Amino acid sequence: MSFFDRKRQYLVGSMILLLLGPWPSCAEEPVRLTSDGRLKATPVFSHDGTELVFAVLENPKMFRLMTMQLADRSVEPLRKAATTAEFEPACSRDGRYCAFVRQRGVLRLSVAILDKQTDTLVEVLPPPGFAGMRSPTFSPDNSRVLYSFADESRQQIFSTDLRANDPQKLTNSPGINNWPNFSPDGKEIVFGSSRDGNFDIYLMQCDGSNVQRLTHNPVQDIRPRFSPDGKRIVFVGHRHGNSEIYVMDRDGTNLVRVTHHPERDDYPDWHTDGKQLVVVSERGGRHDLYLVRVP
């Protein structure tokens, strides 16, 4: 090849690069927070982003809630005196309260609300028989706690005050409604529902009105959570054959896939900076917490 041919090839290649735009930068590697490999679930950040609360399978019969200080990765039980399974934690915005699901017997689950300032605990108790609440979350102003509960063979979203009184039913649809989460301004609630035959992500006003469907996917989309600025929603989708983490705008547009791995990525929660997520990732059959940068 002559000098002029090489020069022409270089110029053509440069023009193609200019047309295509810059090469995308490599995604940052996830930061591994735990290394014990035990089964974990539902990690959530504290109100200031310095602490994580998550459930770990302590033995084959019991999940225990643990807290991790991100500064030094130290871990200790949230409630050392707990003698029954506790999981699915939620932290209030001011850091005073923690809500979680508590086992009350065989297939009976309550929602417990812990006042960490006074070390007192109240519970939303299930009715007699096999029944239970799931997925508690706080309103931004600490006035209400949302949870999911099977009512008349249909799982609906309810709210209660912080004294476990004044239950209010927010949804009334077929199927299962679960994983509610308030927008930062407290005006909207995002949740997952199977009301149309498959789990998708929905949005409604805080009083349960004006329900909007955000995803339309033939396989399930679950566990949505608003970003700290309220502009985006993270959720778990099964669009590529296994559990992966996705982010979209609050109206369901601009879908971005966050994780890319043949094993499971699940239970995302936003860091208070809005740039990172904590997720439970399965790697080699082991389950650990990771910090993942949002694209």
pLDDT of amino acid 2: 45
pLDDT of amino acid 27: 54
d(CA 290, CA 216): 28
pLDDT of amino acid 26: 39
Q: What are phi and psi of 259, to 5 degrees?
A: -110, 150
Report helix, strand or coil for 6: helix
pLDDT of amino acid 13: 39
Show the low-confidence residues of the chain (pLDDT under 50): 1-26
| Count of residues in the chain | 295
pLDDT of amino acid 129: 80
pLDDT digits (tens, 9 = 90+) for 72-82: 999 999 999 99
Class of domain 34-293: mainly beta
Domain-wise residue ranges, the chain? 34-293
pLDDT of amino acid 130: 82
CB-based burial label for 63 (10 Å; 0-12, 13-18, 19+): buried
Q: Which residues contact 226 (CB under 8 A, 6 or more apart)?
A: 181, 182, 183, 184, 190, 232, 233, 250, 270
Beta bridge partners of 192: 178, 201
**Which secondary structure element, helix H or strand E, spans residue 136, and what is its range?**
strand 131-138
